[in-house]
């Protein structure tokens, strides 16, 4: 009898592992839902920019589930410094950026224009900026399980650009993205 209960328990554990793996790989049936699908991710971490073409710097950081704090993938944020235009008189600017979300089963890439504004002085010498972007028009493409998706993104975050502005090429990101799939 003990052997039978061990076998049953083993089957339940295996079924649970298969079910969780199925969900994590994106086979949850979400593709069959009607209407828009929204999810939220955060790009967090400190990275040194890699110049991928003249004036375009890409930063690879962790992609985090903000509700759990768990790393769920990676994100790459590429800033085109050639498109930087001043906004106002306090050091703000607009810049074109491309963000790629490396998710289980595929990638989503968002292209947009981000506004970057200095945050209030916190008494340190850090160059803290608030970032934001709202795209009402479709601005995403996808690969893998996201092939053919349309939709838009919304960004709200804060970045520490002290080391980048000092010529060291380093930015610390804490940016939240709402990804809206049609």
173 falls in which pLDDT band (50, 70, 90)? very high
Which residues make Cβ contacts (< 8 Å) with residue 41, sequence separation at least 6? 63, 64, 65, 66, 72, 73, 75, 101, 176, 177, 179
148/83 same-domain check: yes
114-138 pLDDT, tens digit each = 999 998 766 777 888 999 998 878 8
Helix (H, G, I), strand (E, B) or coil at 62: strand
- Cα–Cα distance measured from residue 101 to residue 117, given in angstroms and rounded to the nearest whole number: 24
> Residue with structure tokens 């079910």?
19
How many structural domains is the chain composed of? 2
Same domain, yes or no, for 28 and 106? Answer: no
Residue 14's domain comprises: 1-34
Q: In the 8-state DSSP scheme, what is residue 2? A: H
Provide the pLDDT for residue 121: 67
The enclosing domain of 175 has a CATH number of: 2.40.480
Instruction: For residues 17 and 62, state if they share a domain.
Output: no
Whether 115 and 177 share a structural domain: yes
Task: Give yes or no: residues 7 and 70 share one domain.
Answer: no
């Amino acid at each position: 009898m003990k052997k039978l209960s061990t076998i049953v328990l083993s089957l339940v554990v295996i079924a649970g592992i298969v079910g969780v793996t199925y969900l994590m790989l994106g086979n949850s049936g979400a593709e069959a839902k009607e209407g828009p699908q929204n999810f939220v991710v955060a790009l967090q971490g400190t990275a040194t920019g890699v110049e991928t073409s003249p004036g375009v710097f890409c930063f690879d950081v962790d992609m985090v589930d903000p509700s759990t704090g768990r790393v769920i993938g990676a994100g790459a944020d590429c800033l085109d410094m050639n498109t930087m235009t001043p906004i106002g008189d306090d050091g703000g600017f607009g810049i074109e950026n491309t963000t790629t979300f490396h998710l289980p089963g595929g990638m989503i890439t968002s292209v947009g224009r981000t506004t970057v504004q200095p945050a209030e002085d916190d008494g340190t010498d850090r160059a803290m900026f608030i970032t934001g972007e709202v795209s009402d028009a479709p601005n995403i493409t996808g690969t893998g399980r996201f092939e053919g998706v349309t939709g838009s993104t919304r960004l709200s975050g804060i970045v520490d650009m002290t080391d980048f502005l000092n010529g060291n090429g380093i930015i610390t990101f804490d940016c939240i993205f709402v990804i809206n799939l049609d």
